[in-house]
Amino acid sequence: MFLWNGRLVQEDEIQVSYLDRGYYFGDGIYEVFRIYDGKLFEKQAHLNRLFQSLREVRITLPWSEAELSAMVDSLAETFGKKDGILYLQITRGAAKRSHLLPESAEPSMLGYCEEVVRPVEQLKKGINTITLDDERWHKCHIKSLNLLANTLARQEAADAGAEEAILVRDGRVTECTASNVMIVKKGVIITHPNGPLILDGITKQVVERLAKLSGIPYRNAGFTLEELMDADEVFVTSTTKEVMPVTMINGIKVGSGIPGVITQLLQHGFEQKFKPAAAA
Ligand code: PLP
């Protein structure tokens, strides 16, 4: 089933107007929720970020947060698979093409679930990455549909045989095309501070809590490209990548080229959050 403007419908009932501003301007926002064992993971954190994005782009929904939350639950219930994602996007809606925000457009909302398998092999071995200039705008904290810079950077990484691009702005590492990035140096986890230059990842939030629980020092101090290349461990975090070790950057091994001890500890802690029985 699909969630279309507040109702659960079949695919053929979805009718997107050719005037939808999501189509012309990428004028909208989205969220990707993770479903583990049929249940939505960190649902409230995703809803909080969704409403934060909506406020930032001045889209007002005709539904309350409680109503949207119930809709998301109903959609997830129709999924019928254990492991997946729930994709939800909201555009400003249909209006005559104009750069000015329309006064009376009705937001359009589309949601659906999709099966996703955990990248188990990569989680064990780590991924290969490259670094690229961060060419995105200065409002990366909004989960905007405008992902052209991200998709082009990701393709450049793929063309170079890498799974992700680590983005660098003015010599400092911000995040990746679809994940946050952290380094470990002398036992301390370091990542970019929240603000307009990165998305405040839900997985990043979980990792910060896990680090605190495990007594691992965690700093939102940011780090330079040089510090990235000199790190003991590097990992990226996202809803679908979880806590993913980075073992290669620009063809150079990170540390000894295998996932580090702190990364593995966080991976274990993360797994316990969604499958306590298996991890016990
Ligand atoms: N940064 C960017 C640019 C992203 O697109 C994403 C996820 O898609 C993340 C970070 C990680 O966020 P989350 O952990 O909420 O998936």
Scored b (16 or more CB within 10 A) or e, 142-164 reads: bbbbebebbeebbeebeeeebbb
What CATH number corresponds to the domain at position 30? 3.30.470.10
pTM above 0.95, yes or no: yes
Tell whether 141 and 250 lie within a shared domain.
Answer: yes
Which of 59, 93, 115 terminates a domain? The answer is: 115
Q: State yes or no: is 143 an active-site residue.
A: yes
What CATH number corresponds to the domain at position 219? 3.20.10.10
pLDDT digits (tens, 9 = 90+) for 101-127: 999 999 999 999 999 999 999 999 999
Domain that holds residue 39: 2-115
Instruction: Give residue 110's identity as a one-letter amino acid code.
Output: L
Q: Decide: 191 in ligand 1 pocket, CB within 6 A.
A: no
Q: Once rounded to an integer, what is the mean pLDDT over residues 191-198?
A: 98
Tell me how far the alpha carbon of residue 45 lies from the centroid of ligand 1, in angstroms: 13
Q: Decide: 108 in ligand 1 pocket, CB within 6 A.
A: no
Tell whether 178 and 243 lie within a shared domain.
Answer: yes
Q: What is the pLDDT of residue 275?
A: 79
Q: What is the pLDDT of residue 276?
A: 52
pLDDT digits (tens, 9 = 90+) for 10-20: 999 999 999 99
Tell me how far the alpha carbon of residue 145 lies from the centroid of ligand 1, in angstroms: 13
Tell whether 237 and 106 lie within a shared domain.
Answer: no
What's the CA gap between 60 and 254, in Å, rounded? 45
pLDDT digits (tens, 9 = 90+) for 35-51: 999 999 999 999 999 99
What's the CA gap between 279 and 271, in Å, rounded? 7
Which of 115, 137, 155 terminates a domain? The answer is: 115
Q: What is the pLDDT of residue 201?
A: 98
Number of domains in the chain: 2
Q: What percent of the chain has pLDDT over 70?
A: 98
Tell whether 169 and 35 lie within a shared domain.
Answer: no
Q: What is the ipTM of this complex?
A: 0.99
